[in-house]
Amino acid sequence: MTRALPSGLFRALPVRQFFVLPLLFLIQGCSNYSALSTNQTEPAGFPSDRYQQADPNYVYPLDSEASQIIVTVRRGGLMARLGHDHIVSSNHVQGFIFLDSGSGQCTADLFVPIGMLEVDNAKLRTLAAMTTTPSAADIKGTRGNMLKSIEGEVFPFAQLHSSDCFTSVSGNKSTVELTIHGVTQQRKLDIALEQARGDELVISGTFSILQSDFGITPFSIMNGLIKVEDKLDLSFRLIAKKSL
């Protein structure tokens, strides 16, 4: 969805909460699925040019290397003990935030490449106190089933758009649009934002989604005796910096 960016004078104001991100996923299993073959570097119609042409005093490109999204995927079914819980993560979140505190306007557009998601990073599993240890084959199968269920070759990106993210500055939730698996859902989310320095934003928070809300059928085998729970728990810490 393409929106015109706001304009105005920037004046630093205390900013507590504001934005989101979000994202998208599912997991589990033991099948193979080819890696994504798309050469597309960003979603079709993504408004990069609008941010790049806007006044750089108000534009905060995301620092992908310093940002991370973590998705916790839980096992379910009567034989859940035979499966694994999983951690899906990304350090490839990309996009822009336009923030003009003086005029109280904020726009955000972010995306995550599905094909670059990492499954079961060992350090993240330890931090999450996971109680099982999937093998390399388990992890490969899980990744394959994830890409298959989300149809990653057809829908290679998850996206977030918000045109009113400044509402969270006053402690209110921000309206965002999440697009996953070709389905767009509107949500109101509470996200914390810290203005660490004048040129840097730190955005963090947690929220949950249901895969079925985005037309995704959670993976299952043996008529559901082992399955992936519909609910996914997401946490994130994003860094956005002015490019001046």
The Cα 33–Cα 145 span in angstroms is 7
Q: What is the mean pLDDT of residues 169-182?
A: 85
Asked whether the beta carbons of 12 and 198 are under 8 A apart, the reply is yes
Q: Coil, helix or strand for 52?
A: helix
Inform me whether the pLDDT recorded for 31 exceeds 70.
no
Task: Tell me how long the chain is.
Answer: 244
Q: What is the pTM of this model?
A: 0.79
pLDDT at residue 78, as a whole number: 81
| Amino acid of residue 87 | I
What pLDDT, in 10s, does the model give residues 197-241? 778 988 888 899 999 999 999 888 887 788 889 999 999 999 999
Domains of the chain (ranges; CATH) run 48-241 (2.40.128.110)
Q: What are phi and psi of 63, to 5 degrees?
A: -90, 95
- Residue identified by tokens 């009113």 is 164
DSSP structure class, residue 4: P
**Which residue from 176, 177, 203, 178 is spatially nearest to 191, judged by alpha carbons?**
203
Q: How far apart are CA 157 and CA 161, in angstroms?
A: 13
Tokens for 9?
């004078």
Does residue 21 register a pLDDT over 50? Answer: no
What is the pLDDT, as a whole number, of residue 224? 74
- Distance of alpha carbon 43 from alpha carbon 154, whole angstroms: 12
